Structure 1
């Protein structure tokens, strides 16, 4: 099967027999085609259950309704037809659940449906001892539209048009049989009143039925073609959005999705937030001595360990900076306890990272420490970049200070730092003040012009 996309230079080489739908399948990525096929498989099961509901409904109505056929008839066609239809429907449902229903089976089921219906209608003239033209008046013909509409559930115009063609050909054969059974054309009339009040045949009326079946099938086919295009686009865009959302924090993805207007570069809002920066200590030196595979494996473990903890405390991952992780609290989603959440997340990360480090040391693998820092203050939360490439981020003094404090951990021999301002704010928001939290007043932090009051959390 061809899986690569068709380039403009190669498209003209396609055989003329390939349908547009086949070209669509060639152009779509495999995962999108698989998602559409899954929807079609579910639809086939739905159609099977609807058919079962229809046959049970008709069977119930037949059982409770007064019988109009002569009691002397030994063969009752309706129970026979319903029994066959019920059996085939159960087989169809079992097949749909056991595996993918092939296209030939779907097309054949339409032929069987119409054949059963036409056979039932044909039997009416024998059942009621009337000439063959009698069954042309049967309102049971309207059931063909039920079978055609069932095929519309699949969003595949081919099967709808096929069902309509089968029904039209079937009725044409029924009309031809009536004419053949009356070689002298004594039943054919041009009088509409006579046609309605007797067993006479009005050829134009029968062609009206056939044309109606074909027109309804074609209209449904056109509608389904448009609907299928929307389905393909919806599935493609939905999967693309799902994949792209992995590149954003869940809160940011939700805000982008729910934005009233298109997000443009420079659009931003000011909010109070806590910024958390995390880093693997000594990672640069480790990356120089370990293999790329080992380095990437370490980063994968570290990020898989840290990110869920941050998110569980309400944090939003802003960006990955190599071995660094920057998260915000209260920026992407408002929170009355953003500072407390940030400090609680920092302590939880450090505790879990120390456990992880112990496991790696016991296994004889490189075991760097994780350190982090929190700063709070007003930040700008918004989009930066160009119309072609945007990035949602936070900007402000708290962002820069948090990054500098993370590096300051090494200087003071700590793993987790916070500004005294962030610490006091967090305590007022419910963070637990403990004796192990050590004040560090007047710290000279590299890159900061004036001393900063800090609190060492670990």
Structure 2
């Protein structure tokens, strides 16, 4: 148990670290695939809008740009399993930004566009399309991709605007005001000149892009932390479940830092099960067959106990101890324990039928069930801790299991346990009798199921 706590504290063993890395990688690949699908949907929507907005045949030019943009997204998507898929995606992101910036600033080829000055291309709101690339990057669970995309958007867009601003035919406030400050009307005439380019919109775009990039990167970073925590919790829980019951693994993973296992008193149903005559059976079997028999019994027992939301407390050689109601607090532990005992006998009967069909010896399992108040929690030393239940209820359940030999039934349940389980469970038992258990002086009423 100490090692399990170390896992929760962050010191995962190599095998668990490998699974953690694999699960994180799978989540990242799923994010890349989702980002590509979102990109494809965005391309379809924008293409349909261009068909409505742009007249024929100029729309063919922009549709071809949309097709090339789709191709630039499809290639890194197909290469997402490549060892260097990350750098490949980042490189294609630069190509995305360059393509989109060029398509926005540069006019269509001769004969497809309107014969307006190139400077007018900077007055349209098409820059917003470039910001869609930030949205795609945010879907990848990769903050670096967001920062990379934002930085290149600011750099490439600024370069494009600066090249237009530096053209000889561009009208600028600096030149218009060379002979003195401009009045309101003169400034308006300069501003309305088709060849005018001002840098204030560029600074605004760069600042907004930077802020938007930063906010998105923080959001993606937080989402990634949440994703990593969820993946890590699932890996830890899977590893814990190899040592303890799933419900104990869930509770330990959820409350590892909140004093899990502190002793407390609860009403719990306890079930003991044991293979009848296992010692004599082992005399005629080799070690390998004994091992196979025990493994088969334990696999089936685990399946049945977990099916009824029980806690497999411990294996005891050819038997086991299970508890119900110790962690979930549902109040139906007795009913689930009785149902588990009956279900276990069905499972063993089905297994026995298969064994007898191939000439193997039948298996018979004795079960004892009792319920009552116990102390549940961690017990042991710092080096070795066991989560278990302690109390007279455990002793009685164990004695009931042993008493099945003298009583003749396959399941013995105490009267208080059957009363707590309800009339539906009581209908499964055929007879009742007072019984003085070994080591006790007062008899208790027990119910027997054949």
Same fold (TM over 0.5): yes
**Runs of 5+ in structure 2 lacking a partner?**
1-13
Decide whether aligned partners of structure 1 residues 433 and 270 sit closer, same or farther in structure 2, where only a CA change above 3 A counts: same
**Match of residue 84, structure 1, among 33, 58, 65:** 65
Distance 1:94-1:455 versus aligned 2 partners, 3 A rule? farther
Instruction: Measure how far apart 1:400 and its partner are.
Output: 0.8
Structure 1, unpaired ranges of 5+: 1-25
With normalisation by structure 2, the TM-score equals 0.75
Note if 1:123 corresponds to 2:106: yes
For residue 189 of structure 1, what is the aligned residue in structure 2? Answer: 173
- Aligned counterparts of 1:335 and 1:149: Cα–Cα separation in 2: 45
The answer on whether the counterparts of 2:429 and 2:447 sit within 8 Å (CA) in structure 1 is: no
TM-fit CA distance, 1:37: 1.9
Using a 3 Å threshold, how does the CA distance of structure 1 residues 293 and 202 change in structure 2: closer, same or farther? farther
Q: 2:23 aligns with which of 22, 27, 35?
A: 35
Q: C-alpha displacement at 1:143, in angstroms?
A: 2.1
How far the C-alpha of 1:335 sits from its partner, in A, is: 6.0
- TM-score w.r.t. length of structure 1: 0.74
Moved more, 149-158 or 202-211: 202-211
Deviations along 1:172-216, one digit per CA (max 9) or x if unpaired, are 44245335642xx76343269466433233456545644654565
Q: Which runs of 4+ in 1 moved over 6 A?
A: 257-261, 386-389
Q: 1:256 to 1:202 in 2, by over 3 A?
A: same
Pick closer, same or farther for the CA change 1:174–1:455 going to 2, 3 Å: closer
Choose which of 238, 241, 249 in structure 1 pairs with 2:234: 238
- Alignment-derived partner of residue 352 in structure 2: 357
Q: 1:10 maps to which residue?
A: none
Out of 282, 296, 302, the position equivalent to 2:297 is 302
Which digits, 9 at most, give the CA deviation of each residue in 1:286-326, with x for residues without a partner? 66775554444322211222333344456443332333221
Q: Who is 1:177 aligned against?
A: 163
In structure 1, the residue corresponding to 2:270 is in which secondary structure?
strand
Q: Could you say if the C-alpha distance between residues 109 and 342 of structure 1 is closer, same or farther in structure 2, counting changes exceeding 3 Å?
A: same
- Give the corresponding residue for 1:394: 389
Q: State the match for 1:110 in structure 2.
A: 93
Alpha-carbon spacing, 1:81–1:291, altered in 2? closer, same or farther (3 Å): farther
Say if 1:107 and 1:426 are closer, same or farther in 2 by CA, change over 3 A: closer
- Looking at both structures, which has the greater relative contact order when contacts are Cα pairs under 8 Å and sequence separation is at least 6? 2
Is 1:58 the counterpart of 2:42? The answer is: no
Aligned residues: 420
Q: Given the superposition, is the C-alpha separation of residues 380 and 290 from structure 1 closer, same or farther in structure 2, using an over 3 Å criterion?
A: same
Q: Secondary structure at the match of 1:29?
A: helix
DSSP-derived class of the 2:345 partner: helix
Separation in 2 of the partners of 1:230 and 1:315?
A: 30
Structure 1 residue 157: Cα displacement: 3.0
